[in-house]
Structure 1
């Protein structure tokens, strides 16, 4: 592929994704069917400054030039009137995606959550074994449903329970980590949070490579206190029909969610049919729903009906027929994912290690100090702030 062909590919890709940026679909739904949202425009120069800052933090490249630091300060100052209001919490993201892979992970909070989820899993162990004894042994490839044998080794069974408890605790703290408390100095911390995310890096690169179509905003969504990470679901709409629904977090087995499966399906499908379908002028899309603690259903976001969008408990390669056409299917894990103990053993320690490292990387204040007292110059100092 030539550089010209690569550029054309990026432009076409960006065109396909633009209708799914928050600012594109927010007015279709309005605050009545999603979360109250503020939009702050990001210029191409500011996006490039954010990219330079990311590479300085993680790839030991030169610090942003002085004019780029000024651009970052100006961006921070535009965020300030929205975020500095004390008493409000926010969820911050870009037009395209959220920085859910970023932020400091509190180990003590993890340990507290782990104890809570261990109790939940122990209480569910008897029900889990009963379902295992009644279920057919089905494979992941067949229908995405796992059922371990009821007579499995006790040590293996306990290892599965512990791995799921750890993943539940980890999911809870990473969820809480996305909540930004409003108040003084919040806007600067928000920018640092964004440039701690590889997801943000990828999206900014994609947006700046299609320069003639460049459009990006920082999205401040009011945090909904009744929103729960374990009650988020992804729906697949094709040719105007909701064909499939899945739990969003594909790692965890949620015993309490499984018990409510029938009621959840009924409420989400009804909500989509009566409130959402008439408002979205697209034939095919992926929609994320949240069921709030008071039972209300709302929309979290829209995504393209493409393989670039995660399929959760489905697979674009193995289950395309289900996703593209009826009959409708709703998937929730009925048992613990067999590979989860190995994933937890390797992925969680690395996530905590990387999180601790992030705390020592260059902040916006550090960048400002680099140029304090200097004449305005575009030549960055060759240094790395520890």
Structure 2
């Protein structure tokens, strides 16, 4: 077994697919009392069989953006691709393992990988940075505005949480809230999500590389891609940054090419708008999927998890990304363990779930590092107001 296969073996139970919201939910995962066959479950301990790892890896690679973007590109964000070589991917893995593996977010935030590159590594990074900047500049000239950069599988969404600008943006949004709401859990988590989202606006290759090299998600995805050399096809995906509210993201579940379920994506927050207009958004996304997406993905994989974004008060619906129909993909307000029969339903109805009221104790569901961030910034805000 290759070195990268062994690393994937150790990482596979830690992979959290696709979302910031999922990082928040991951701490709730508990070990099953009964054995299950879903090899990709992060609830399983120990090692898995090699054939199970191979199948898992292929299921993930089957929904990388290169497999679906051309089919529905007019319904997703304008994008351009820049190839990443296997040697560059190996360097990403090496840098992450050397500086950031198993470290707390606050330590990662202040550990500068650039200070410890060898001359050979500096050359590789410099060359990649120049190529990426050229691509970004060309794209910005064409599309105008900022870009959002992800990789073939996922984005470095975890990186903004450990960068200083994230704290600044969070405080800016918190200060815009009514003073009486600033210590409200729902308000604080909304500000966290909005800060995380806006931190992904970029215009320079240095920002992109810094985020990617600090990202555990990117590290995991590079490990997976390198473990299947015959299918290695990694790219930077340079996408137009489209701003929409954090309650306007939705996660859909497609089984046998039918949209079986839909959920509020950022499920730690309560949205009055979603509660009051849930039927409008359900019909909007159902119609969009049936009219524009399902026919064009007829020959795509039959089962997948698809993320939608809604902007301009419902006048525009976007496909954000597609994820594998696996237990490692966050089920949002559904449960893979207890409600798989709903996600795999053959009925005509699309189940739609939103948060019906503010969730007391939602802050307790945040990872430790995020709770500490809120605690620290709450103290700073209190001092400023006094």
Question: TM range, normalised to the smaller chain?
Answer: 0.7 to 0.9
Confirm whether residue 88 of structure 1 aligns to residue 106 of structure 2.
no
Q: For 1:181-222, what per-residue CA distance to the aligned partner results, in whole angstroms no more than 9, with x for missing partners?
A: x3xxx1122111111111111111111222333221111111
Q: 1:247 and 1:89 mapped to 2: Cα distance?
A: 26
Q: Is the 8 A contact 2:364 2:371 kept in 1?
A: no
Q: 1:67 to 1:353 in 2, by over 3 A?
A: farther
Q: What is the 5 A alignment of 1:67-78? A: 67-78=120-131
CA distance in 1, matches of 2:166, 2:309: 25
Mapped pair 1:177 → 2:218: no
The equivalent residue for 1:134 is: none
| Aligned-residue CA RMSD (Å) | 3.0
Task: Tell me the residue number matched to 1:41.
Answer: 83
Matches within 5 A, 1:123-162: 162=184
Q: Who is 2:356 aligned against?
A: 334
- Distance of 2:95 and 2:154 partners within structure 1: 19
Q: Does structure 1 conserve the Cα–Cα contact (< 8 Å) formed by 2:190 and 2:246?
A: no
Are 1:223 and 2:241 matched, yes or no? yes
Maintained 8 Å contact 1:56/1:64? no
> Do the aligned partners of residues 10 and 210 (structure 1) sit closer, same or farther apart at CA in structure 2, a change above 3 Å counting?
farther
Q: Aligned equivalents of 2:151 and 2:226: distance in 1?
A: 14
Alignment CA distance shift 1:9-1:71 (3 Å): farther
The alignment partner of 2:261 has SS state of strand
Residue 287 (1) aligns with residue 306 (2): yes
* Structure-2 separation of matches of 1:173 and 1:205: 28
The answer to whether the 8 Å contact 1:286/1:305 transfers is: yes
Name the structure 1 match of 2:319: 299
Candidates 28, 34, 39, aligned match of 2:71: 28
What are the within-5 Å matches in structure 2 for residues 174-213 of structure 1?
174-180=196-202, 182=203, 186-213=204-231
Distance 1:11 1:34 in 2: 30
- Name the residue aligned to 1:53: 95
Q: How does 1:236-315 map to 2 (within 5 A)?
A: 236-280=253-297, 281=299, 282-295=301-314, 296-315=316-335
Report deviation, 1:343. Answer: 3.3
Structure 2 residue runs of 5 or longer lacking an equivalent are 10-47, 102-110, 377-386
Q: 2:344 aligns with which of 309, 313, 324?
A: 324
**SS in structure 1 of the partner of residue 305 of structure 2:** strand
8 Å contact kept, 2:253–2:304: yes
Q: Residue 47 of structure 1: SS of its match in structure 2? A: helix
CA distance in 2, matches of 1:240, 1:261: 23
SS at match of 1:307: coil
Give me the whole-angstrom Cα distance separating, in 1, the residues matched to 2:55 and 2:118.
Answer: 31
Deviation of 1:36 (Å): 0.6
For the Cα contact (< 8 Å) 1:166–1:344, is it kept in 2? no
CA distance in 1, matches of 2:193, 2:278: 20
Residues 344 and 288 of structure 1, relative CA distance in 2, 3 Å threshold: closer
Larger Rg: 1
Q: CA deviation at 1:9?
A: 4.3
Other structure's SS at 1:319 match: helix
Name the stretch that deviates more: 266-275 or 203-212.
Answer: 203-212
Deviation at 1:47, TM superposition (A): 0.4
Partner residue of 1:13?
Answer: 56
Asked whether the 8 Å contact 2:305–2:323 carries over to 1, the reply is yes
TM (norm. structure 2) is 0.73
Answer yes or no: is the 8 Å Cα contact 2:82–2:237 preserved in 1: yes
* Structure 1, unaligned runs of 5 or more: 123-157, 355-386
The corresponding residue for 1:152 is: none
**What does the per-residue CA deviation read over 1:32-86, in whole Å, with 9 as the maximum and x for residues that have no partner?**
2001111111111000111222233325999454333322222112112122346
Secondary structure of 2:211's counterpart equals helix
